Amino acid sequence: MSDRERLVRVYATGNAFDGLLTKGHLEAEGITVLMKGESEGPYRAGPVYLWVTSGDEGRAREVIRAIESGAYATSDDDVFGVDEPEALAGDIPNEQPQR
């Protein structure tokens, strides 16, 4: 195994949900991630560790810093694309069941 293929732990958390979200962000950036820890079991509780190859370590740490700074944060505006989610209510037809 070359140095670029050596696995490096880049993230550890006690929150399985945070671990899964961070893993998803890293994968969305094209980084292959190995996740180890309690998130693999049926109850998904306990520590989670994310590992990447040493060749991807720098990019992975940049993405993690961006996540922690809030750069990946979303709001309802990102989802709805309007200032007020209620504005969409007029676009949804009010269908009544046929009797």
pLDDT at 88: 52
Q: Using one digit for the tens of pLDDT, what is the confidence trace for 43-86?
A: 667 789 999 999 999 999 999 999 999 888 777 776 665 555 55
> Angle 72-75-81 (CA atoms, 0-180°, nearest 5)?
110
CATH number of 3-91: 3.30.70
- Cβ(44)–Cβ(21) below 8 Å: no
Q: What is the pLDDT of residue 90?
A: 55
Structure confidence at residue 4 as a pLDDT band (50, 70, 90): confident
What is the identity of the amino acid at 11? Y
Locate the domains of the chain by residue range.
3-91
The 3-state DSSP class for residue 61 equals helix
